[in-house]
Amino acid sequence: MNRISIASVAALALLLAPVAALAQYSSSSDAAAPASWAVSFLPAGGDGGKVAAALSNPPAKAFSAVGIAANVSPLGIGGQLATNINSHINVRVEGSFFNYTVSDITSNGFTIKPKLNLASVGASVDLYPFHAGWRISPGMLFYNDNHADATYVAAPGTSFTLNNFTYYSASGSNAVQGTGKVGLGDGSPAFTITTGWGNIAKTKGHWSFPFEVGIALTKAPTLGITLTGQVCNKQGLNCVDVATDPTVQSNLAAQIAKYQNDLDPLKTYPIVSFGVSYSIHKN
């Protein structure tokens, strides 16, 4: 399991520092706001009416609403917790997980059993330019353990290919088998940017159905494949060990490079999230 690095904690602190300052400012501003009786001394029409309405409905205080949400996204099944800083800003933390084992599939002559393991924790700042509705959310995925594991088996006597070169798996217990692993961004923290609709920490009302789209800017995915056993010619003769034979290892490395090239686009990992939330707030 990956540990949260000092760099990721520092980056998170930099992300949330302006929010803490805004919270302090918001609290001090509320304390200095004019008393409600002052509204009665303002003229009813024109600009006076607008000011009167603003004073009668002051901005929500910092941390006056807390929302919880459940969502689904390419990062898995998630839970979110958010609170408001002022009328334009919320802070949100979320965690996602998902495990799934795929039935045996066949590729290049191998029978493969992949298992998807998703686990991540992140935080973001939700910015609402128009108080509610549409938002933009910079953030960071500071715990990233999203990966897939797989086992490979080439049945005795069957053929498989590496880098377009055909091999034949040896008989009996010497048949070729192996393991593989794909990591999303090598498990490193990643900055995220999303946009969407809906407010988890609503100061009025309770239910919301948030939706967001965006990306996580991870490092390039990693891929490793290890094979054991022996390969032979078509007649089952002249067998060599796949772990030590330089030709087999060279073709395996070239095959991994091809797979790696296919995976590279995932360094910009898509995020599409749907959810439902409930907010608890002070009236």
CATH of the domain at 217: 2.40.160.170
Domain assignment present for residue 263? The answer is yes
* The pLDDT value given to residue 20: 44
Report the distance separating Cα 201 and Cα 23, nearest Å: 15
Domain assignment present for residue 160? The answer is yes
Question: Measuring CA to CA, how many Å separate 68 from each of 1, 200, 233?
Answer: 27, 7, 61
Domain assignment present for residue 53? The answer is yes
Domain assignment present for residue 76? The answer is yes
The total domain count for the chain is 1
Domain assignment present for residue 1? The answer is no
Structure token digits, residue 282: 């002070």
Instruction: Note whether 168 and 229 are within 8 A (CB).
Output: no
Q: Which of 138, 136, 280 is nearest to 197 (CA)?
A: 136
Tens digits of residue pLDDT in 172-202: 999 999 999 999 888 889 999 999 999 999 8
Domain residue limits at 100: 6-281
Helix H segments across 32-107? 46-56
Domain assignment present for residue 275? The answer is yes
Residue 138 amino acid letter: P
Domain assignment present for residue 29? The answer is yes
Confidence (pTM): 0.74
Residue with structure tokens 């330089």? 246
* The pLDDT value given to residue 137: 97
